[in-house]
Structures are given as C-alpha cells and as structure tokens.
Amino acid sequence: MDDEPIVRWYWIGDHLGYLGNLLADHAVIALLPVLIGLLLAVPLGLACARFPRLYQPLSAVFNIVYALPSLAVFVVLIPYTGLATQATVMIPLTFYALAVLLPTTVDGLHAVPDSVRQAATAMGYGPWHRLTTVELPAAVPYLIAGLRVAAVSSISLASVGALVGRGGLGYLFVDGFQRTFPTPIVAGIVLIAVLALAVDLLLVGARRLLAPWAVREKGAGS
C-alpha cells in the first residue's frame, strides 16, 4: 500500500450508485433489527415491570447473548439461515438490540417517581393501565437513550456481516483489504460514520418531539 494514496477520488465518483446501494442495504440490515428489538423490548419490559421475577432470568439470557462474539454467532447460524441471507446477520443483531433495549425499558419504567405511581393508583388506575399510560410514556426518554446506543452499535456490528456474505458497507472493507486498495475502506468508514450520525440526530429530534417535558438528558448513557 506504500505508494497507493489513501483516497482515489475518481473511484468514488465512478461508484456513487454502488455506494448508495451498499448504504441502503447497510441501513436496512442494521436498523430493522433495532426496530424489531424495540417492538419486543416494550412488551417484555412491561411484563418485567409488572412481574419483577421475570427480569432476572430474562436479562441474564440477553446478557449472555450479548457477550457472544458476533462473527461466531453468524457462522453458527449459517447452516439454518444459509450463507449470504439477510437473516444470518439480522437475527443476531436483533438479539443484541434487545439486550440493550430491555434493561433501558425496564429502567425507564422504574424511573417514574414513586409519588407518581402512588398518585396514579390513588386515582383508580389498575397496574396494567398505569404501566401503559403513565410509566411507559414517562419512560420514553430512556427508550430513546437506549435506541441511540442500540442503533449506533448495530450500524457498526452490521459490517462484520460482510464476512458471511451480507454486510452492506462492510463489503467495502473486505474488498479494499483483498485488493490492497484503501479507497473503498475509507469510503466505508466515512459512510458508516455518516449513517450513525444521521440516525443519532434523528433520535435526538424524536426525543424533542415525543418528550418535550424531558429537558434534562434523562437516562443518557444507561
């Protein structure tokens, strides 16, 4: 790579359409699992808040899943989902997203001050009714903080999927490395960073819109 420049601009110019396709592919592979994770985390989180005994075993399971190296999980799944299918990459990513989102959901539901919970009960809310109409809306800032972490790490993890055939922008790394040609690698890094930043900004905007009452950075980083 010694006399090869870091970026050859003409290559980027020639491959704009190709890069665009990879970016779209990457966004779907990385973010669809986060969305599915959210749709699973909310009911599971509500159940854990309602029946606290569920939480310990469930969070243990997801923690273990989270600890597994992503590449190993991809490889293990290949016999069932086939090489180069989106499912091979998206199934583990869904579990990773869930592993982040379940605790943040439960934390958010628990973060409602006790006085609020008691006031709701005293006004005649039943436990489920209270969870869905008081605690869940109040947990939105936590959910969004969790989504920011889950989305960014999913965008980063999805590139590993290129090693098993589907990885969106991750393919640029494999390609560049095999050809000792750094331009696609740089393009991939930049596009991943841009995607992560865009999604993060979108989520911050969503929080402003959905939880205008949470001025402080509630639950950020948790």
Partner 1 sequence: MITFEGAGKRHPDGTIAVEGLDLEVPTGRITVLVGPSGCGKTTLLRMVNRMVEPTSGRVLLDGTDVAQLEPAKLRRGIGYVIQQAGLFPHRKVIDNIATVPYLLGWDRKEARARAAELLELVGLAPETAKRYPFQLSGGQQQRVGVARALAADPPVLLMDEPFSAVDPVVRAGLQEELLRLQSELHKTVLFVTHDIEEAVRLGDQVVVLREHGRIAQLADPHTLLTTPADDGVAAFLGRDRGLRGLGLRPASAVALRPVGDGLRYGGWELALDDAGRPIGWIDRTAVSAELHPAAGFRPETDTLRTALDAVVLSPAGVAVALDGDGRATGTASRDAILAALTPTGATAVGGIDANADESSDTNVGTGPDANAGAKADAKTTVSTRKALAADGTGEAGTTDRVGGPEGSDGGR
Q: Give the footprint of partner 1 on this chain (CB under 8 A).
A: 112-113, 115-126, 134, 137-138, 140, 211-215
Distance CA 170, CA 155 (A): 10
Crossing angle for the helix pair 182-210 and 16-50, to the nearest 10 degrees: 40
Smallest gap from residue 195 Cβ to partner 1 (A): 30
Smallest gap from residue 108 Cβ to partner 1 (A): 12
Give me the sign of the Cα torsion angle 112, 118, 123, 124. Answer: positive
Smallest gap from residue 218 Cβ to partner 1 (A): 10
For partner 1, the closer of residues 119 and 197 by Cβ is 119
Nearest to 19 by CA among 200, 141, 194, 216: 194
For partner 1, the closer of residues 1 and 53 by Cβ is 53
Nearest to 65 by CA among 34, 41, 91, 83: 91
Smallest gap from residue 212 Cβ to partner 1 (A): 7
User: Strands, DSSP E only, in 77-147?
Assistant: none
Smallest gap from residue 210 Cβ to partner 1 (A): 9
Cα dist. 81→73, 87, 95, 156, 159 in Å?
12, 6, 16, 22, 18
For partner 1, the closer of residues 139 and 185 by Cβ is 139
For partner 1, the closer of residues 148 and 218 by Cβ is 218
For partner 1, the closer of residues 98 and 211 by Cβ is 211
Rg (CA), the chain: 21
